Structure 1
Amino acid sequence: MVAVPAALGACSGAEHSSAAGSGTRAPVETAAKELEGAPACTATARLIPSCGAWWGLAPEVFTGAPIEQAVHGAEARMGAAADVLHVYHRGSELFPTAAEVRLARDPARPRLLMINWKPSFDHTWAEIAGGALDARIDRLAGYLRRTFPERFFLTIHHEPENDVDASSGSGMQATDYAAMFRHVVLRLREQGVKNAVTVMTYMGAPNWAAKPWFEELYPGDDVVDWVAMDPYADDRVQDFDGLVNKTREEYARWPGFYRWMQARFPGKPVMVAEWGVFERQDDPSFKKEFFASVRRQIKRYPQIKALLYFDSPRAPRGDTSFDSNSAAGRAFTELARDPYFRSTSVPRP
């Protein structure tokens, strides 16, 4: 776990503007070094760990379990604490909730929040960019100022690719998404929210990356602190290398998402904001072997600074529970306890 100075709980506007789009890459060490029980690593104002990577998850999704029960249950199952808790909000919901604040401020094991927000399902991206939800954004900003001064990750309408409508005037073109993201972030900042570390989250699939509008989704370095992908291990993926660099023969020019992010965003940290391994009925050892591959291969990807698992027995395309069989559970516990993810400590409020 990475030690973060207490002063990083909140930041000034000047500090945030100097960090945004700076292009600075944090150095990476291949192993955690403990000095008299104190963490050896630190994190920047944008929550970039100086070595290793944050370990996190979205726990027990689609089970109906309240968030605190889900977190404690998942951490007990994996035998380790999560650095980052991934939660989802939509519309006019205010966040973080009281339960999420308690989890973030848990004195025994504080957690960073990765808050995933879709501002509206009733307005187009163009309408939001034009100010249609400004009152909602302002209300949220006031709530955040009063309730949660700590730094947190914020992604806005994650995985936009499959929501793009490229037709003229749809209000849902890729350029409309970029304008919406920019507007929301800048409006929050204008309203005094200086502690949100912003994340642009892509699906991480080659078919969407091949679209002619794909590059137009990006909102700009000044409003994006981290870039993220949400890849899942389907039948075409055999190990972690294949997960973060998916390719397909029919999209021969696509190098894979991690390679693309290295070239496109060389100075930005990469987050794997969702990843999951589906149960394979014909190969019950697949999950165990896959989790072992993450331990072997993660150090090949020094720009990945956070890895957040999507733990759900009822994910849309299958079971991504990390302990759907005992061998998988043991391998996941070994991964969660790996020193690469235990070199830094979450900041205490």
Structure 2
Amino acid sequence: MTASGGECVTGRKLIPSCNVLWGVAPGAHTESRGASALAAFERKTGRTQAIYHAYHGGIRQLFPTEQEIAIAHQRGRHRILFLNWKPESASWAAIAKGDRRTDAFLDRLAVHIKKTFPEQFFFAVHHEGENDVRERVGSGYTARDYAAMYRHVINRLRARGVNNIVSVLVHMAYIKHAQQSWFNSMYPGDDVVDWIGFDTYAYSDPGYGHGDFAEVFNKRIEGKRGWPGFYTWALTRHPGKPLMIAEWGVWSSKRNTRYKVDFYRDLGAEIRRFPKIRAMVQFETPHNQKGQDSSVDSTPAALQAYRNLGRLPIFQVAVTP
């Protein structure tokens, strides 16, 4: 269903009535991340971002912060917050069993959210959890521990009246992890997962992660330890869930500068082959932990291609209360 005049709008669980939400985690791994980084990103790319993505951890800082609330409420630029929270005060198993300090924080968080931010927002609990799985008895970090921890967090917040969180289960989209026997045990349950997200990146130089959009996002592996691709996996195991590319980007290369331009240019057509993808969130950093650069303006040609991509009709969705 679309609004009058055919406009695409956000609805229940922030699922757009049509098209794909467009967003960014700006200034990642830099001191300028936040409102200033978002403003700079929107200036250079020539459009308002429908989603603003930020990260939190531990049990001290409540969120959304004042700055994040201001970003969501900026006059004339309605945005959806997408907030990651990584619990670090106890093991997954301990949190699932009701760790006292974590529960106390969740209770404070519930009060804070109800008081300061009634709008729907995306909320991820410990994104890319598979990277921290320790699949041995008693580790506190098994795949089933993760699922139980995730359930506990979402259910505790909801039980305390936080009904505006739209939960996102965010995977790494790393095939080596997905092929493990424990991978599907990470799923917390349809009742506590609203969206399924994947973090996936394209690499400008040949090798893993190099290719077109389908190769990067839905890479398949044939053989005894085959893998159908993340899109195909989600479509098969969780057909009722909208999908989000929760982090994406193209890592730059001085040797192959044309690759990023071509990837941006072709993505607008290629994404139409994946209709369950309803949101894409750019992760922009001049340097990650490995020194890799995903800046959309690494070259003038890349910036123009990204600007053109963001202007396509498929990425236009009005954020509505």
Q: Same-fold call, TM > 0.5? A: yes
CA distance in 2, matches of 1:218, 1:243: 23
SS at match of 1:230: strand
Structure 1: which amino acid aligns with 2:308?
Answer: E
Residues 1-349 of structure 1: pairs in structure 2 closer than 5 A: 35=5, 40-92=7-59, 93-120=61-88, 122-132=89-99, 133-234=102-203, 235-236=207-208, 237-248=210-221, 252-317=225-290, 318-342=292-316, 344-348=317-321
Q: CA deviation at 1:248?
A: 4.0
Aligned residues of 2:134 and 2:141 also touching (Cα < 8 A): yes
In 1, Cα distance between equivalents of 2:17 and 2:25: 24
2:11, 2:320 within 8 Å by CA — same for their partners in 1? no
Question: SS where residue 221 of structure 1 aligns?
Answer: coil
- Match of 2:12, SS state, is coil
Q: Percent identity?
A: 43
Task: Give the Cα–Cα distance (whole angstroms) in 1 for the partners of residues 289 and 234 of structure 2.
Answer: 26
Within 2, Cα distance between the matches of 1:175 and 1:139? 26
Deviations 1:74-126 (A, max 9, x none): 01111111000010001122101101100101111110001010022x41000
Matched-pair contact (CA < 8 Å) for 2:167–2:194: yes
With over 3 angstroms needed to count, the CA separation of the structure-2 counterparts of 1:80 and 1:52, relative to structure 1, is same
Kept in 2, the 8 Å contact 1:210–1:251? The answer is no
SS in 2 for 1:223: coil
Is the contact between residue 124 and residue 170 of structure 2 (CA under 8 Å) also seen in structure 1? Answer: yes
CA gap of 1:68–1:251, structure 2 versus 1, over 3 A, is farther
The one-letter code matched in structure 2 to 1:178 is: A
Is the contact between residue 205 and residue 246 of structure 1 (CA under 8 Å) also seen in structure 2?
Answer: no
Paired positions, count: 312
CA RMSD of aligned residues (A): 1.5
Q: Alpha-carbon deviations, 1:44-69, whole Å to 9, x = none?
A: 31111121110001011112104110
Q: Tell me the distance in 1 between the aligned counterparts of 2:33 and 2:67.
A: 9
Deviation at 1:157, TM superposition (A): 0.1
Task: State the 1:327 CA deviation.
Answer: 0.5
TM-score (norm 2): 0.94
Q: Counterparts of 1:103 and 1:251 in 2: how far apart (Å)?
A: 48
Distance in 1 between residues matched to 2:64 and 2:320, nearest whole Å: 17
The change in CA–CA distance for 1:299 and 1:106 in structure 2 (over 3 A counts) is same
